[in-house]
Amino acid sequence: MRSKIDKILLIILLIAFSVSIYLIFQWVPQIKASNPAEQIAQRIFYFHVPSAWLGFLAFFVVFCASIAYLATRDRKYELISVASAEIGVLFISLVLITGPIWAKPVWGIWWTWDVRLTSSLILWLIYVAFLMLRRYLPDGSKRANLSAVVGIIGFIDVPIVYYSIRWWETQHPKAVMASSEGSLAAPMFFAFMFSLATFTLLYVYLIRKRYQLLTLEDTLNKQFKEMEIL
C-alpha cells in the first residue's frame, strides 16, 4: 500500500517535472531586459522561489512535529521533524546557491545584505545548528526532547529575524536593487504556480521516503538487539 502510493507519486513527479521544465524553458516568453544575461538568468526564479517556499514549509512541519512530540512523546514525530529539517536545509541551501547565480548577471554582485538573502542565510544557520545538535547527542528520549525544544524556539524566531532585518534594511538604503520584478504576466504566473505545485509534491515524496528510511533503521536496530537477547 505504502509503496504503491510512493510509486504513483514518483510517476506523477516525473511527469510534472518534465512539464515544468518545458514550461520554464520553452513555453514562457522571453522577458524584455536590456541585459541578455538577465533574460536567461530570470528563469532561475522558477526554481529559486519554490525552493524557498519548500524550505519554509519544511520548517513549519518541524515546528508542528516538535509540538506533537512534546505532547505525545511518540518517536514518530521526532523522526518526522528530523526528516523535515534535513529537507528544509537542503532546499534553503539551493536558495542560497541559486540566489547569487541570478544576482551576479542582474545586480552585478554575488551577494548583498538584502532582507531576503540575509534572513534566508540566518534561517539556514538555525536549522543547520538544529541538525548539528542532533549529531552531538546520543540517540534517546533526551535528544528527542532537546531537539523538539530547539525546533519550537527556532521557528518562532524566524518571523522576528525577518522583521528585524527588514527594519535594518530601511535604515541602510542600498545602491543596487533596481526593482526588476513588477507583476507577473499570465503565462509566467502559470509556469510559476505549476513549478510551485511540483516542488510541494516533491516535498511530500521526499519526506515520506526519508521517514520510511528512518523507521526502517529503528526496526533494524531493534532486531539486532533482539538477536543478541535471544
Partner 1 sequence: MMRTAISILQKDLRMEFRSKESILAMWIFSLLIFVIFNFTFEVSRLVMLEIAPGLLWVAFVFSGMFGLNQSFALEKENGNLRAMALMPVDGGEIYVGKFFSVTLIMLMFEALIFPIFIIFYDLQLSLGMFRLIPVLLAGTIGFTSLGTILSAVAVHTRNQQILLSLLLWPLVSPIIIWSVTLTGMILSGEVTEAFYPLLLRVGAFDVIFFTLSYMLFDFILED
Partner 2 sequence: MSVPALEILGVSKDFGRIIALRDVSFSVMPGEFVSILGRNGAGKTTLLNIVSGVSRPSEGKVNLFGTDPGDRENKAKLAVISHEMFLYGNLTAIENLEYYSRVYNVPDAKKRIDTVLSDVELTHRRFDLVATYSRGMTQRLTIARALLHEPSLLLLDEPFTGLDQHAIGMLIELLKKQKDMDRTILLTTHDLHTAAELSDRYVVLSKHKIIKDGYIADTTPDAIREKYFSAESQGAEA
Name the site residues for partner 2 (rule: CB under 8 A).
73, 75, 78, 139-141, 144, 217-218, 221-222, 225, 229-230
Contact 148, 66 (CB under 8 A): yes
Distance CA 24, CA 47 (A): 9
Residue 137 touches which of partner 2, partner 1, none (Cβ within 5-8 Å per kind): partner 1
Residue 225 touches which of partner 2, partner 1, none (Cβ within 5-8 Å per kind): partner 2
Taking the complex as a whole, the smallest distance from the CB of residue 79 to partner 1 amounts, in Å, to 18
Contact code string over 167-206 relative to partner 1, x by CB under 8 A: xx--x-----------------------------------
Which one of residues 163, 189, 216, 219 is an interface residue with partner 1 (CB under 8 A)? 163
Binding status of residue 71 toward partner 1 by CB under 8 A: no
Residue 157 or 218: the one with the smaller Cβ distance to partner 2 is 218
Binding status of residue 148 toward partner 1 by CB under 8 A: yes
Residue written as grid cell 513555453? 27
Give me the DSSP letters along the chain. -HHHHHHHHHHHHHHHHHHHHHIIIIISPPP--SSHHHHHHGGGHHHHHHHHHHHHHHHHHHHHHHHHHHHH--HHHHHHHHHHHHHHHHHHHHHHHHHHHHHHHHHSSS----HHHHHHHHHHHHHHHHHHHHHHS-SSHHHHHHHHHHHHHHHHHHHHHHHHHHHHHHHS--S-------PPPHHHHHHHHHHHHHHHHHHHHHHHHHHHHHHHHHHHHHHHHHHHH-
Residue 146 touches which of partner 1, partner 2, none (Cβ within 5-8 Å per kind): partner 1
Taking the complex as a whole, the smallest distance from the CB of residue 226 to partner 2 amounts, in Å, to 9
CA 16, 20, 22, 23 torsion-angle sign: positive
Binding status of residue 151 toward partner 1 by CB under 8 A: no
Residue 157 or 217: the one with the smaller Cβ distance to partner 1 is 157
Taking the complex as a whole, the smallest distance from the CB of residue 127 to partner 2 amounts, in Å, to 21
Taking the complex as a whole, the smallest distance from the CB of residue 129 to partner 1 amounts, in Å, to 4
List contacts with partner 1 (CB under 8 A). Answer: 70, 122, 125-126, 128-129, 132-133, 136-137, 141-142, 145-146, 148-150, 152-154, 156-157, 160-161, 163-165, 167-168, 171
